[in-house]
Each structure stands twice: as structure tokens, then as C-alpha cells.
Amino acid sequence: MIGEDLRARVTAWIADDPDERDRAELTALLAAATAADSDEDADVDAAQAAEDLADRFAGRLQFGTAGLRGKVGAGPNRMNRAVVRGTTASLAGWLRYVNPAATEAGVVIGCDARHRSDEFALEAARVLAGAGIAVHLLPPRQPTPLLAFAVRHLRAAAGVMITASHNPPADNGYKLYLADGAQIVPPADLEIEAATRALGPLAEIPVSGGDDPLIARHDDQIARAYLDAVCAGAQAPKGAAWLRIIYTPLHGVACELALRAFEQAGFPPPDVVEAQAEPDPDFRTVAFPNPEEPGTLDLAIAQARRSGADLVIANDPDGDRLAVAVPDDNATGGWRMLTGDQVGALLGAYVLGRAGGDADRAGGDAEPRRPLVATTIVSSTMLARIATEAGAAYAETLTGFKWIARAGDLRPECRFVYGYEEALGYAVGTAVRDKDGISAALAVLGLAALARSGGESLLEAYDALEAAHGVHLTGQITVPTTVPVDVMSRLRVTAPTELAGQPVLSVSDLTGGTADLPSADVLRYTLPGARVVIRPSGTEPKIKAYLEVVEPVIAGRLDEARHAARARMDPLREAVRDLLAS
């Protein structure tokens, strides 16, 4: 059932694995697969064990968007202590090479509440200390934005967050941040990954004890500093006390810090969905712990319906994303979740409205720097129109907050005030150079309170944006494929000339980059009043397409414009689906 080469690699890994449980897990799988080899009547379980073993050794977990992510289990293609040890040893070597001061500046390490998160965090700390690098270990079960904040707050050389964000319960991950507090970008990720491939035996990696004096265990002072930073510009407006809020952390780790933020900023305490309030790595009340997935907010919306709440807010399990649901008489059940693009536009207008009276000055009589907002090439283009009206600068980046957070670095004449991506990620201000679902929640509450005091709902506030800037209807298509490279190659060889009866006006291939964007495996099609962006997923065997249809609102007839946009979107969606599947 398994070849000699695989058997040899499994045996060698077992001998080098530092974790007794993982060694036992692989030993049992190897025994089952070997039984299948010698017994023609081996049952399905034995065959599955052999298949499982082959998958675990199909390769090593590779860096995705900002680090590693995969199923928890033994073997090089899983998340485990051995993989964490090897990756951290490579990180330590890379840091000492590129930044000799890293040994004293240290690395901040945090973890969420997923399976084995605290164990992996301690393993990373012990490896770094064994390499002579100082470690700042945050308390366990903390949200990702706190780790991102702590990197700059402590002036550390890097940060490691053990989390799989909103992935399924079986997963965990290893997320890397650089000294600027933003997620890792090339070439650093490629260099660390190359060093990991070149590692020798794990047994030769020096590992300290957990009580090594190089490991500083921080208490609540980092959280207090974070709250001071994100609440400073987010104080509740008048009338906020009347807001009725339902909040859920979806079994994640954001609840305590979020509730402290709401209180410190002056917002009323929300009603928490008790069944989802405590961290639970199995996420027992949801089919999938991603707030983008249909049904994930069902418990929160049911509670909001019973209590007559004004809105529902939800963080994902590691607290870096935010979902918002609002009452809507036209929706099934009387509630609907706003899309990431809708919240992104609402917060963009809200932040720019505040930024106009709060311009940074370089000092003395220096001119105030122009506010800058940013989003990605797959998000709605409405933010660009909002920025133009506000006299603000606007930037588009590749997908991912590792690019959004750095948009201001390329525009020193501007000051970054806001960025978002359609996948429910928002950065309000610069306290955290990453998406932050807690500071974003404060901004949503501030906007909701202002709207309510003016007799408006969040839906009516969004209506006003579309009436002013046009209907911007967005959609997404995901097509599973084991060969995304082949799909992208086919599209490059034979570009469509029309989609859904509309001519393709231009095709933009980001391979090789542009004047404003680095190289990426992305294709963009421009149609009359529409846009399609296609790219392979960075973490899964899928091709993704992002669609936008823009329809002007004439003489205030918003409903007509929305109907026209939907009428154009439906055939475009089908045409793009056919394009990807053909």
C-alpha cells in the first residue's frame, strides 16, 4: 500500500519528531498502512490510513498569505510541534542575518484558543530563546490584532501569532509579522521558507526550557495600551447609550477585549450570545466559524430578533474580522448581513468625515497631510468615489492586508486613515497595521449611533452613498480546481472578447507587476460599467472571480438602478462561471 521511499521518510520523521503524541500517531498510521500492504483482505480503514499517511508526507506546509496554515496532526504537511520548531529555527536564523539587533529587540508571540495553540506558542518561544533571541510571550487566548499591535508597541523585530483565523476546527496556523507590525511580504517569506527546506535534523536545533530568562511573559499591560490606542479616537457620540447591540465572538478569543473596548469608548454593553461567548476550538454551534458563511450568524440574529436590537456585530475566532447584520423588512426573517464592500464603504465615508477635522501635522505650521484610504483590486470601487468627493487620496493594492497596511508607506505625503478588503477586514487608523475587528466594531458603533441620532438606519446611510455615487453591486464566484495554474494559463492564451454579451474593453495581466502593483497571478477584465478580476486562491485549490457592476442613479431612482444592476450581474456571473469551468 505504501512504497519504500514513503516508508523511509515516515520512519525518519518519527525518529526526529520532538513530540511523543505525534510520534505515536505516525507510528499507528504506519502500522495500519503496512498491514494493508501485507494483507489482501485489509479493510477500508487500513487503506484510508495509507492514504492519510501519503497526504501527510506529500510535501511540507508552505507559506501562504502570511505564514503557515493546515490541519493539526503529525507529519510535514500538518501543523505540529516539529513543523513549528523547524519554521521558528529558520525565522531565528533569518532574523539574526538581516537584523543583528533582533536578539535584543526580540519576537512577540501570541496564540488563540485553537487546538494546541498554547503548545505551539511555547515551542516557538523555546526555539527563539534557544537561538539567543528575546521573546515577548503574550497571555494565551488573545486576538490577532493585539499581537500585531504589540510588535510595534514593544519595538520588536518580528511577531508570531499561532492562529488559523476562521478556518475549520481541525486547522491551526503560524502567522508572521515583521518589525513594522504588518504581515510578512516577499522576499522575507520566501527566504524563511527556503531556510526551512534546508534545515538539518530537528534534534540539532537548540531549544531552551520554558523558564528561560529570555522569555518574558507579559500580563495585561499590552492589552491596556492597545485599548488606549484604539479607543482614543473612537469615543461614543451622543445618543450612543440608546443603541441596542447583539455581539458574538463565534467561540473565539475576542470577547473580553472587545467588551473592554466598548466600555472604555463609552458604548453601552452589548447583549452577548452566551452560547458562543467562551472560546471553543471545536466551534460547536456553527457549521463553519467564518462569518462570511451563510448561517454562521443565525444564533445572533435570532437573539436580535427577540430583543428588538438595532444591529448585530460579530468577530471571527481570532478577532481580526468583523461582520455586521441589520434589520431589513425586505429580507427573509427580517434581518440581513451587510457585505464587506457595504461596510467598507460606510466606514470609509465615516472615517473620512472625521479625518477632515483631524489632519496630522508634521509640526509647527506644516501643511496637514492628505488622508489616504486604501482597498484591494477585488473590492468595490465605491471607496474611490467617496475619497474623491472628500478630497482624500486613494490607493488600490493586491489582496491581503500585508499590502493594504503598507499603502501609506509609498505615499509619505499622505497619512493612512483607513483600509478594507471585501472579506470583512477593516483597518481604522494606524494603531494596528492589520485588519482589526475590534477597532472596526467601535467605528461601526459610532456610525450607527450617529445615524440613529439623525433618524437613520445603517441601511439608509448606505442608500445615501449609492444615491450619491451610483449602485456598486459586487459578487464572487469560487470554482474548485486541482490545477489553478492550468486555468490561469488557458485564460492567458485565449482571452475572452465578450462576457454576457458585453465587450471586454481591456485585459490586464498583473504577471510582472505594474507601476503601482507588484507581480501577481491576476487577470482583470474591464467591461462597460463592469469589472471582473480572476485569481487563484492563496490557500486552497480554487479559482476565484470577483465581479462588480456599476449603475448610475438617475434622478434619485435608486430602486431602478439596483434592479438594472442585478439584471446585468446575473448573466455576467453565469458567463464567468462558464469561462472558468470550460
- As annotated, the active-site residues are 165
Q: Concatenated DSSP letters for 25-64?
A: HHHHHHHHHHHHHH-TT--HHHHHHHHHHHHHTSS-----
Q: In what order do the strands lie in the sheet with 506-509?
A: 471-480, 542-551, 530-536, 523-527, 506-509
Scanning the structure block, which residue is given the C-alpha cell 500500500? Answer: 1
Torsion angle, CA of 564/567/569/570, rounded to 10 degrees?
A: 170
Number of C-beta neighbours around residue 155 at 10 A: 11
Q: What is the largest CA-CA distance in the chain?
A: 85
On whether the CB atoms of residues 238 and 267 are closer than 8 A, the answer is no
Secondary structure of residue 132 in the 3-state scheme:
coil
End-to-end Cα spacing for the chain: 35
Helix (H, G, I), strand (E, B) or coil at 197: helix
- Return the C-alpha cell found at 209: 526550557
CA distance 322 to 440: 7
DSSP H helices, 117-172, are 117-130, 144-153
Are the CB atoms for 579 and 496 separated by under 8 Å? yes
The DSSP result for 520-577, as a single string, is: -S-EEEEETTEEEEEEE-SSSSEEEEEEEEEE---TT-HHHHHHHHHHHHHHHHHHHH
Show the cell assigned to 334. Answer: 427580517
Length of the chain: 582
C-alpha 426/C-alpha 417 separation (Å) is 11
> What gap in Å lies between CA 493 and CA 506, rounded to an integer?
15
Non-local CB neighbours of 195 within 8 Å, separated by 6+ positions: 90, 93, 94
Taking the CB of residue 430, how many other CB atoms lie within 10 A of it? 17
Interatomic CA distance for residues 185 and 517, integer angstroms: 13
CB burial string 208-219: b at 16+ within 10 A, e below: beeebebbeebe
